Amino acid sequence: MAARHENTRGPAVGYVDPLGEPFLQTRFALPARPATFLRRRRLTEHLDQALGTPLTMVNGSAGAGKTLLVADWAARLGQPVAWFTNEADDQGCGVFWAYVLQALRAAGVPLPAEIGCPGDAGRVEHTLLARLADELSGRVRPAVLVLDEFDRVTDPRIAEQLEFVLHHAGPGLRLILVTRTEPLLPLHRYRAAAAMTEIRDAELAFTADEAAALLERHGLRLSTEATRALVERTRGWAAGLRLCAMAAQQRPDPETYLADFEAGRSTIADFLLAEVLKRQPARTQDLLLGVSVMERFCPELAEALTGTGGVEPELAGLHTQNAFVEDLGHSWYRLHPLFGEILRTHLRVRSPGLEPELHRRAARWLRASGSLPEALAHGAAAGDWEFTTRALVDDLAIGQLFAGLRADDLTELFARMGPEVPGAAAELVRAARDLSGRDVDRGLSHLRRAEDGLRAEDGSDPGEVPSDAAGRLSCVLLEALAARLTGAPGRAERAVAEAARLRDEVPADLLQRHPELTALLLTHLGSARLWAGRFDDARDALTEAAGCPGGAATALPREDSLAHLALIDYLNGWPGRAERQALAALNETEQFGLGRPSGPGLGQLVLAAVAVERDDLARARGLLDETAGSGAVPLDPVTAAGRALATARLLLARGEPRAASAVADPAVAALTASPGRRCTPHWSPRPPIWPRAGRTPPRRCWTRCRTTASRPTRRSWPGPSSRPATATRRSASSTG
């Protein structure tokens, strides 16, 4: 058997490469497709465009399905395809081009022996490349050459040589690169000339429908919701879906397993650690492990986490390499969710105890950069509750526990804080948590300890006022809430007056960032005034609260204030106006997707009462059932009495006066022990203000003392110092 023949044009065709080793035929073979392989029509149709452009690049992460996609397409193309799989240990240009020439010949491309073959493993003659390009340019039907795992080619000279051959071969060559990284070819020129076909990572990702079809090939049929959740978790990553499917096949309940499996202890982890993490240098591995605790990160944050500098080129390189680092724009990145989960598990094994420290570093960097929500989350993850509570209070964000899109998240976050955490800020958070749960006594106890703590931290004497304006303003907000919960308007007035004095001590930009603080204070004040029967004063505070700047931060207090205004209109005998206010209140939260009105829904209670006025008892019953079904506890005495009012009026309209009295009297009497009450009301519902068709309106006045008098315009209110109802009844045409 002849090894190689030398002639004037270099080595002739032989059976060994320039290193003297036999050509490995497996590197020229199309990879086999598994039985579960899913052909995706949208990708094969896109790949068909490769026949019309000189260059095609299929660029995706490890396990994205690049190789199988191109191999399946090539097998069904109907013409020979030259396939060459690169390996990491190839040395030099000579070996590369020797394999390319052999791949072309193995695919049946007739290359004359005069072209020759490189004789030096590290170099190739330019004349050989020129002869090859000239030979290919004369072909009627272009040769199709696939270079798989082209990212393993690291010698920039090879990219230059490949560009030379591709350019001069003209329509005689169609080059397809399967790679994890962008090659060093002048891609911008091909893109500008529309001479390039590209399939990238995002396009390679499986859709929910494709994932369902792939799972069926593994004998799995999941619900639509479960499939979507799996696609979201894997981001449609082909290898992740296949590995999940194979693991789920062995489980008695595949759907439950796929919903809860630990990625860090699965075959997916083995794949990603071997194919992605361990292929990186040690410094880059440390970088990836350091940023694994973050949802997103920028170079400066990554440097603060790892203690190393100059990481920006590394992060950009990891994204370019499709190393499961996604570019979010503006120098911000994030890890693929599964990769991040696996890295965190690996971090705990490799460096026990480092994860909390990374969270602590992240919290401080984020706090300094003004990213409070993320700073709080990482402070809690680090178990550093003193920092976390102090950050919340210093930012004047205590009101976000009650209002805004993050209220539920913050409540859940601080629910993990134990009773041993010291400090005034921690006591303030505990007070807020208890007051939001209607536990006034415990809330006030924590609030007093917070006030004492602020003085101690400031070095003030017990009779002096501490200088921490943000902490004191937070105390005032909780004091106003306590006043509302206990029906104590005097306490609420004092709290709001103190807030007005403190505003000048707080930076203006801080107040502008938290409009919910003012909205909450005014709403609490208005509710307390309403309970005292001071309707006009209540309307002033509530109208100002409703006029606070719009947005998600103030949606809940604005909804609350509008619902109280609706109740005032109803009690004043204006049902049409009350209905409009109540509907506007409900719209405030619905437009931001908050979906959680104050208490059991005061606005809905007003709508129920208006429905009774209009003899629409079915609608009234439905609204009352809806608020009762929410399971929400009435926020304050006003809401509790509002529910009693609406329920009792419905029962009375249905001819059940005893039941109506039973509903109303206990509900109101239960509130008489509240602090700040001046009297014990004796109240029961009266009939609707309108006479219904065919009925004679009763002449009896249903005031607190059930005395006979002229029919009042304003409905009696069970709170202290209710105004006597002496006005004459207005007609239906003159109200609302």
Query: What is the band of 652 on the pLDDT scale with cuts at 50, 70, 90?
Result: confident
pLDDT at residue 712 in the model: 36
Find the range with the poorest average confidence among 201-215, 444-458, 657-671.
657-671
pLDDT at residue 404 in the model: 65
What's the whole-number mean pLDDT along residues 185-191?
Answer: 94
Say whether pLDDT at 669 is over 70: no
Find the range with the poorest average confidence among 37-41, 353-357, 574-578, 663-667.
663-667
Identify the H or E element spanning 174: strand 173-179
Report the 3 state secondary structure along 122-139: CECCHHHHHHHHHHHHCC
- Residue pair 715/725 in contact (Cβ under 8 Å)? The answer is yes
Say whether pLDDT at 155 is over 50: yes
More confident residue, 694 or 44: 44
pLDDT at residue 665 in the model: 63
Percent of the chain scoring above 70 in pLDDT: 84
Which tens digits make up the pLDDT trace of 309-344? Answer: 999 999 999 998 889 999 998 999 999 999 999 999
Tell me which DSSP letter residue 193 carries: T
Say whether pLDDT at 427 is over 90: yes
Say whether pLDDT at 705 is over 60: no
Instruction: Indicate the average pLDDT of the chain.
Output: 84
Task: Measure the CA–CA gap between 712 and 404, rounded to whole angstroms.
Answer: 40
- Residue pair 94/122 in contact (Cβ under 8 Å)? The answer is yes
Query: What is the band of 657 on the pLDDT scale with cuts at 50, 70, 90?
Result: confident
Task: Measure the CA–CA gap between 619 and 617, rounded to whole angstroms.
Answer: 5
- Residue pair 103/84 in contact (Cβ under 8 Å)? The answer is yes
What's the whole-number mean pLDDT along residues 94-98?
Answer: 94
What's the whole-number mean pLDDT along residues 697-707?
Answer: 30
Say whether pLDDT at 204 is over 50: yes
Most confident of 210-224, 500-514, 633-647: 210-224
Say whether pLDDT at 284 is over 80: yes
Which tens digits make up the pLDDT trace of 358-376? Answer: 999 999 999 999 999 999 9
Identify the H or E element spanning 334: strand 332-335
Which tens digits make up the pLDDT trace of 10-47? Answer: 334 456 778 788 888 989 999 999 999 999 999 999 99
Strand-pairing partners, residue 173, are 143
More confident residue, 671 or 121: 121
Cα 439 → chain centroid: 31
What's the whole-number mean pLDDT along residues 557-575?
Answer: 92
Specify the length of the chain in residues: 736
Find the range with the poorest average confidence among 29-38, 82-91, 159-168, 287-296.
82-91
pLDDT at residue 251 in the model: 87
Query: What is the band of 1 on the pLDDT scale with cuts at 50, 70, 90?
Result: very low
Query: What is the band of 4 on the pLDDT scale with cuts at 50, 70, 90?
Result: very low
DSSP letter for each residue of 418-468: -TT--SHHHHHHHHHHHHHTT-HHHHHHHHHHHHHHHHHHHT--TTSPPS-
Say whether pLDDT at 676 is over 50: no
pLDDT at residue 594 in the model: 61
Specify the 3-state DSSP secondary structure of 204.
helix
pLDDT at residue 92 in the model: 87
Most confident of 258-262, 488-492, 641-645: 488-492
Which tens digits make up the pLDDT trace of 596-610? Answer: 544 458 899 999 999
More confident residue, 733 or 120: 120
Say whether pLDDT at 152 is over 60: yes
End-to-end CA distance of the chain: 106
Say whether pLDDT at 170 is over 70: yes
**Which structure tokens are listed for 606?**
């007003």
**Which structure tokens are listed for 351?**
């460096």
More confident residue, 383 or 635: 383
Find the range with the poorest average confidence among 299-303, 413-417, 637-641.
637-641
